[in-house]
Amino acid sequence: MNAARKLISSHLESGEMKAGEEIAISIDQTLTQDATGTMACLEFEAMGIPKVKTKLSVSYVDHNTLQTGFENADDHRFLKTIAGKYGIYFSRPGNGICHQVHLERFSRPGQTLLGSDSHTPNAGAAGMLAIGAGGLSVALAMAGEAFWLVMPEIVHIKLTGTCRRGVSAKDIILEVLRRLSVKGGVGKIIEYGGEGIKNLTIPERATITNMGAELGATSSVFPSDEQTLAFFRAQGRESDWKELKPDPDAEYDEEIIIDVDAIEPLIAAPSSPDNVKPVRDVEGKPVRQVCIGSCVNSSFADLMIAAKILKDNKVHLDVSLAISPGSRQALRMITENGALADIISAGARVLECTCGPCIGMGQSPPTGTITLRTFNRNFPGRSGTPGDQAYLCSPLTAAASAITGKITDPRDIMKEPIRISLPEKYTIDDSMIIPPPDEPGKVEIERGPNIKPFPVKGALEESLKARVILKVGDNITTDDIMPAGAKILPLRSNIPAISEYVFSKTDATFPARARSRGSGIILGGINYGQGSSREHAALAPMYLGIKVVIAKSFARIHRDNLINFGIIPLSVFPDVYDSIEQDAEIEFPDLAEEVRESPEITFADISKGKTYRAEHGLTARQKEIILAGGLLNYVRGK
């Protein structure tokens, strides 16, 4: 078997490992963060279970740390107390980004990790099967339930060669995105192998597995090998290590060979992670902001690369350079070795150890200017500036461009390759990770006024008439559906309030029109719902009365979230999409019966007098969830 199938088979609880078949796997660890975790904790609490049943569950605060009002601070108190009540570890604000800290302190080769953040596959760098999911799915895993998914195809990306001068792991994953696109990994696990992985450290592998989320992949995974052992030994966790490698004769559903020697510095131009070009093709464009950090490029090694380029140089007078370390461990270490002084002396702005600008929480770029970011997403407006021009690149390219004031191929300022030797021992200080107390019964949960009850809907209607409230195009992201940023993120635990911002960037009238109709439909194009795992992109539309989403195709996590909240995802051919207009009145005469009995749903466009059929693709279990009105209703019924 290959490594991915070994991970799945060792956790398989139901189903067969045949691509396209629904399976259930047991979950060893869960990860939540404050933007999605508050709702996940409310969902877990609603189940009435006294303690989490996983081997380990960790609650992180890393998204909503900009406290412009009481909401975020209240949520942090809620998360801390609910963690103590239910046996969850709590990583305090300032300790670092969930994926970076989890890799450093909690990852375990051979185990499964389910996280309420789409970049959870970051831990696949350490030989874990790490999957992003909606908060309700994670809450169920915390309750001891298996995680259900469609058995993915396993794609082997065989790397050969080594990174040349100016090329890094970020350029490798950008090359993968260039080849496969943001929908090329849907229904697949990407497993990396070949001689080319032997020289990739765990932080470098994490850059690749993290940004595999932008492929739409279920997960990405590296073997657990000598590099993994060296990382765990340096983290003081050698006892947590175990070897996990594919068999010599392992088979895969697909194989892609990438010669790393042939890769040059790459950059993703606005406004999609797969709009990848050689830096040479866009060099010379003036830059006004550079941001180095986020969960994909904020490790000790990434910060050291930036520091080496910035040393004895100055940030260009027209550039604002912001650096956000991924963990308190990384920040302490660059402080102790003097690299932080080089960064500050160059003129950089050092931010706290959080997601920060990546999630639109501060550092929005100036209007009409280019911002270079070492982040994983450059969706339109995600930075917080309408019409932004966000490019994604490596720390090498970002630091070089910060000095020159224009997009710069790092090879132009590098005389020699930059080699970063990872420490034989990392600085270990877990004092900002609070373990569960010995007497959880004495913990009182603190709730601020912004925390509202979890909304639920009723069972599926036997028939339905509804209007198309909104028609949108291809590659609609969860940022489009449920925007983030400093204004909206603090409302994640208040569905009535946050629902006022659904599709606010696309059509500010959407919430009012959806509410006035009572029942509504959204019509989408290809890869509807790509991007983050935020279940709010399904939960808030459900609260507004959305019953059905009809699209050409769906992103994996968002489709699962729609089902979890009782919204039916229907797939149609392009000609059907083209023929239906916004505000069309649609009738589903036998909706519940066809969900039960048929692979297709019949619906009529009353305004045009045309009848169509759509595929729902629901498994037997998913049918029961839809009929019950959502996953929570289904679980309660069980």
CATH assignment of the domain containing 481 = 3.20.19.10
User: pLDDT value at position 124?
Assistant: 98
CA–CA distance from 551 to each of 191, 198, 468, 493, 624 (Å)? 29, 42, 12, 28, 22
For residue 570, tell me if it sits in a domain.
Answer: yes
Confidence of residue 547 (pLDDT cuts 50, 70, 90): very high
Task: Give the domain range for residue 340.
Answer: 276-411
User: pLDDT value at position 361?
Assistant: 87
Asked, as a colleague might, if the bond just before 107 is cis with ω within 30 of 0, I would say no
For residue 115, tell me if it sits in a domain.
Answer: yes
- pLDDT greater than 90 at residue 90: yes
Residues 173 and 247 in one domain: yes
Average pLDDT, the chain: 96
- Taking residues 536-554, report their average pLDDT: 97
Residue 68 tokens, joined: 């412009």
Least Cα distance to 544 among 450, 481, 490, 632 occurs for 481
Q: What is the pLDDT of residues 275-304, one digit of tens each?
A: 999 999 999 999 999 999 999 999 999 999
Residues 361 and 249 in one domain: no
- Taking residues 508-533, report their average pLDDT: 95
Q: What is the pLDDT of residues 558-616, one digit of tens each?
A: 999 999 999 999 999 999 999 999 999 999 999 999 999 999 999 999 989 999 999 99
Least Cα distance to 108 among 2, 7, 5, 246 occurs for 7
User: pLDDT value at position 252?
Assistant: 98
Window from 119-133, 478-492, 612-626 with minimum mean pLDDT: 478-492
Residues 592 and 544 in one domain: yes
Cα–Cα distance between 343 and 349 in angstroms, integer? 8
**Do residues 522 and 550 make contact, with C-beta atoms less than 8 angstroms apart?**
yes
Tell me the angle at which helices 328-336 and 339-346 cross, rounded to the nearest 10 degrees.
90
For residue 449, tell me if it sits in a domain.
Answer: no
Domain boundary, last residue among 367, 390, 411: 411
- pLDDT greater than 90 at residue 360: no
Domain boundary, last residue among 387, 411, 435: 411
- Taking residues 475-487, report their average pLDDT: 92
Residue 451 tokens, joined: 């925390």
Window from 176-190, 247-261, 396-410, 447-461 with minimum mean pLDDT: 447-461
Share of the chain above pLDDT 70, in %: 100
User: pLDDT value at position 404?
Assistant: 98
User: pLDDT value at position 47?
Assistant: 87
For residue 495, tell me if it sits in a domain.
Answer: yes
Residues 204 and 105 in one domain: yes
Least Cα distance to 561 among 507, 465, 458, 482 occurs for 482
Cα–Cα distance between 593 and 460 in angstroms, integer? 10
Q: What angle do CA 66, 103, 392 make, to 5 degrees?
A: 60
User: pLDDT value at position 636?
Assistant: 82
- pLDDT greater than 90 at residue 457: no
User: pLDDT value at position 61?
Assistant: 97
User: pLDDT value at position 638?
Assistant: 78
Cα–Cα distance between 308 and 286 in angstroms, integer? 23
> What is the number of domains present in the chain?
3
For residue 470, tell me if it sits in a domain.
Answer: yes
Residues 495 and 600 in one domain: yes
Residues 239 and 290 in one domain: no
Residues 246 and 362 in one domain: no
Cα–Cα distance between 504 and 497 in angstroms, integer? 13
The letter for the amino acid at 194 is G
Confidence of residue 240 (pLDDT cuts 50, 70, 90): very high
CB atoms within 10 A of CB 238: 12
Element (H, E) at 445: none
Residues 143 and 256 in one domain: yes
Residues 476 and 561 in one domain: yes
Least Cα distance to 460 among 261, 282, 616 occurs for 616
- pLDDT greater than 90 at residue 455: no
Torsion of CA 331, 34, 522, 388, to 10 degrees: -30
- pLDDT greater than 90 at residue 118: yes
Q: Which residue do the tokens 């189903």 mark?
A: 15
**β-strand pairing of 585-588 with 464-471:** antiparallel
For residue 588, tell me if it sits in a domain.
Answer: yes
- Taking residues 149-166, report their average pLDDT: 96
For residue 516, tell me if it sits in a domain.
Answer: yes
Residues 510 and 576 in one domain: yes
Q: In what order do the strands lie in the sheet with 389-392?
A: 276-278, 266-268, 389-392, 370-373, 289-292, 320-323, 349-350
Cα–Cα distance between 637 and 493 in angstroms, integer? 25
Residues 255 and 287 in one domain: no
Cα–Cα distance between 592 and 613 in angstroms, integer? 15
In this structure, the chain runs to a length of 638
Q: What is the pLDDT of residues 202-215, one digit of tens each?
A: 999 999 999 999 99
Confidence of residue 533 (pLDDT cuts 50, 70, 90): confident
For residue 421, tell me if it sits in a domain.
Answer: no
CATH number at residue 15: 3.30.499.10
Residues 255 and 315 in one domain: no
- Taking residues 232-237, report their average pLDDT: 98
Q: Which three-class secondary structure string do you get for 85-127?
A: HHCCEEECCCCECHHHHHHHHCCCCCCEEEECCCCHHHHHHHC
Rounded to two decimals, the pTM is: 0.93
Cα–Cα distance between 231 and 241 in angstroms, integer? 9
How many helices (H) and strands (E) the chain has is answered by 22, 27
